[in-house]
Amino acid sequence: MKKTLEEHAARFDEIAPAYDEDKREEYRACVSLVVEYAAPDADDVVLDLGCGTGAIGLALADDAEAAVGRDISEGMMEQARRKADERGLENVSFGEGTFREPNYDGDLDVVVSNFAMHHLSDDEKREAIEVITTLDPERFVLGDVMFFGEPDPEEPFYSPEVDDPATVGVLADALTDAGFALTAVEMVHEQVGVLVAERVI
């Protein structure tokens, strides 16, 4: 990780009020795909890691028993709580947590994450996926900055000073090593995609 958790949290606290206003087409496409593949049943609990302002969790709340969001930025979660209140959603909750310390110990069926894991180094991503495995979800859906080929340094989809995207191969290996089977790979952009993994062990 190129910045500390505190530095990341402060950066997102600062941009939280305007975070939803200017999102690229690829980000919105990832949100739609993550929601589509998460597909919770009415009695499922969904955990959204790096939930930000709640785009994924709030979209899934109507179909799930409960949606739980975890983030390091209180400012982002304040926006998520405001949106949940505006929509009258009572089955969503947001609290502090990280990929490697999600601070969640309840029943869980689906884990989702969108545009958050790329802040971790490759080794940290592997650790995060191993932690997700211990939560025992049936499905993990990851939308993120990831490399399907060689990234074009002239047109990066990411900010090198704060982001550390992995190749699709690195992510796929980490998922399978942790006991998941990769069941879908969606390329949104050469540097953005969605991976769907189902637990097999």
Who's near 18: CB < 8 A, 6+ residues apart? none
Which residues are bridge partners to 66 per DSSP? 45
pLDDT score of 149: 85
Q: Which two tokens stand for residue 105?
A: 């110990």
Is the predicted pLDDT of residue 156 greater than 70, yes or no?
no
pLDDT tens digits along 102-130: 999 999 999 999 999 998 999 999 999 99
pLDDT tens digits along 41-72: 999 999 999 999 999 999 999 999 999 999 99
pLDDT tens digits along 76-101: 899 999 999 999 999 999 999 999 99
pLDDT tens digits along 15-37: 445 455 557 888 889 999 999 99
- State pTM to two decimals: 0.88
Please, what is the angle between helix 74-87 and helix 5-15, to 10°? Answer: 40
pLDDT score of 153: 64
pLDDT score of 13: 47
What is the rounded distance in angstroms from the CA atom of residue 122 to the CA atom of residue 2?
Answer: 12
C-beta of residue 83 within 8 angstroms of C-beta of residue 67: no
Give the pLDDT band of residue 1 (cuts 50, 70, 90): very low
What is the DSSP annotation of 136-179? --SEEEEEEEEESS---TTS-SS-TTT---EEHHHHHHHHHHTT
C-beta of residue 142 within 8 angstroms of C-beta of residue 113: yes
C-beta of residue 131 within 8 angstroms of C-beta of residue 100: yes
